[in-house]
Amino acid sequence: MEFLDPDLEKYVADHTEPENSLLHQINRETHTQVLKPRMLSGHLQGRVLSVLSHMIKPKYILEIGTYTGYSALCMAEGMQEEGKLITIDKNEELAERVHNYFKASDFSEQIEFKNGNALDIIPELNYPWDMVFIDADKANYINYYKLIVDKLKKGSYILIDNVLWSGKVLEKNRKKLDKDTDKILEFNRFVHEDGRVQNVLFPIRDGLMILRKK
């Protein structure tokens, strides 16, 4: 995921709003205590999610893929006071940690964490989502998208992480085409050709696709 010169990346981070104390704690503890810490959104992408949320001013946010709760808390910063954020993850081992982080935040009454299979849970949710963030198993990206896109009202947003997949979307950066890379390529093609949305792919961290429902 290191697409920028390290010094330039540091400059970008140094000139971006810092994390608050809770996010800094989550960042630190995820890197020292949790497997696969690269899955964390982190400082720069977290601030991007926060700014986008402030711009959108969502009342209802859906997150697919909670991990340790960092991205959910970033998006909650721009949520309306009476808003609600539902985040879904199937990792039972992280559930208690996530609950504790949410409880320690200013959004403990607004965030609902659901531990289970998102493909089963999403159809049971009946909220007019203003903002959706997909950052879960790559094999189901297109399935998650299809579950929600027709239910979104005009002007709603879908954000999708890891769409550059460490640069492996380019043939020159991979030795062979693995299943996850194939699914990312399929998803990127699908949404790019989908007339229901306007799309832009930002080279932020590992690639952030932003879609606006037309």
**What was the pLDDT predicted at 1?**
60
Q: Is residue 123 part of a domain?
A: yes
**What was the pLDDT predicted at 3?**
77
Q: How many domains does the chain have?
A: 1
CATH code for the domain of 138: 3.40.50.150
Three-class DSSP labels, 134-168: ECCCHHHHHHHHHHHHHHCCCCCEEEEECCCHHHC
pTM (predicted TM-score) = 0.96
- pLDDT single digits (tens) 87-128: 999 999 999 999 999 999 999 999 999 999 999 999 999 999
**What was the pLDDT predicted at 4?**
82
Q: Is residue 128 part of a domain?
A: yes
Whole-angstrom distance, CA of residue 128 vs CA of residue 121: 15
Closest CA to 17 of 39, 44, 53: 44
Residue 185 contacts residue 174 (beta carbons within 8 Å)? no
Q: Is residue 106 part of a domain?
A: yes
Q: Is residue 22 part of a domain?
A: no
Range of the domain at 88: 6-13+36-213
Mean pLDDT per 10-residue section of the chain, whose length is 214 residues: 84 97 98 94 97 98 98 98 97 97 98 98 97 97 97 97 95 92 97 98 95 98
Q: String of b and e for 91-107 (b: at least 16 CB within 10 Å)?
A: eeebeebbeebbeebeb
Give the percent of the chain with pLDDT over 90.
95
Whole-angstrom distance, CA of residue 190 vs CA of residue 20: 37
212 - beta bridge partners? 157, 198
Alpha-carbon radius of gyration of the chain: 16
Q: Is residue 28 part of a domain?
A: no
**What was the pLDDT predicted at 80?**
98
* HSE-CB for 204 with a 13 A CA cutoff: 20
